[in-house]
A and B are shown apart, each in its own frame.
Chain A
């Protein structure tokens, strides 16, 4: 029986279209409408999670549908995986109703990753807006773990309001590190907020980026990324050293179905992380 089961798991691992059962170990509500799942594979198909920072999984809510969700945990920890999810549609609403011990279907990991290898020896500027921080968090963990391999590290984060800030406790802890600059701003706040107010690009004036040495990694709403890229390029940072993570409606996650076609690329297979130099010409086209 055990051998049959092992064989079945091998077959499933070979077919990336078949979801594996994963159990909800913990649920944390980050904000009013954003929650984080800690998932472990269930007993039947226990195996390690292995992914690269920036990649995503397809999470399946049984009877409802599948959704592409980026991975927000540390890629060096293999026992479980974290997904931070915005409750906005049918699938994510259904996922939000699950409880500890419930089962989801999981396929992945899929897609490209943040350029952490080729960035070694360079300065890194991480710029996140809203829910753009969770897909960048694995990259931040990686950089902190291998801190000596990188130059100056800057994290700039913009959120809608103080109560919408993702991972506020971690951000505070990161601010206390002596070898990283962390700046947080919000678009609106009342007088109890003592931090920055203004869009995330305003934070660029609080840091000096060396255009020759800096690689920027950006994730957030597309319009936020557009303005951020504009500002970085005004600061003479080349589009080759700017990376963006794009989001599109995905179905197969393997580049077969074409749902996430983006010009000559597929966001699921060639992205979600793109060098801006590869998408410069199509980034401004609204219909894509």
Chain B
């Protein structure tokens, strides 16, 4: 059976990461499983972790109040769920629920923040990787706003 550091090493998000950093990250990691329809986190709750999805699919939903929950994105195998652990005040902005059974690695946000503070080079490496995710999500959201398949 593959151990945690092996799984982390092979996850696209941590590809080619320095071995020392990988060890530090592994010490903050744990395996988690969510069943279909489980709520993984809720808007406003403390963002204690983020997740590297190994299998299954998660829906991110925004509470549109009178509009109800609006599903805005799905996240699946090889992708990252959650970045609020790195941005103060560390609260979730969305609700995430499992559309299928999900296997993931949870990374403890507080643990990882402390390690990043202790080792700014590792912190910078993590910021660079998360910035790419944020940039992709921002571009995607802008594309969705353009409604490119609507009538011109």
Contact = CB atoms under 8 A, between A and B. Distances in A.
A187 B71 contact: no
A48 to B, nearest CB: 34
Interface string A115-131: 00000000000000111
A194 interface: yes
B17 interface: no
A221 interface: yes
Contacts of B73: 197-198, 202
A90 interface: no
Given A130-B149, A206-B78, A191 B71 contact: yes
Interface string B123-139: 00000000000001001
Interface size class, chain A: 20 to 34
B76 interface: yes
A201 B140 contact: yes
A199 B79 contact: no
A211 B69 CA distance: 39
B101 to A, nearest CB: 13
A199 B99 contact: no
A233 to B, nearest CB: 14
A191 B69 contact: yes
A142 interface: no
Nearest to B97: A191
Given A196-B76, A197-B72, A220-B148, 12 more contacts: A88-B152, A130-B148, A131-B149, A164-B149, A185-B74, A190-B71, A194-B99, A197-B74, A198-B73, A201-B140, A223-B148, A227-B139
27 contacts: A131-B149, A160-B147, A160-B149, A187-B144, A187-B147, A187-B149, A188-B144, A191-B59, A191-B61, A193-B71, A197-B72, A197-B73, A197-B74, A198-B140, A199-B140, A201-B140, A201-B143, A202-B140, A205-B78, A205-B79, A206-B76, A206-B78, A220-B149, A221-B148, A221-B149, A224-B143, A224-B148
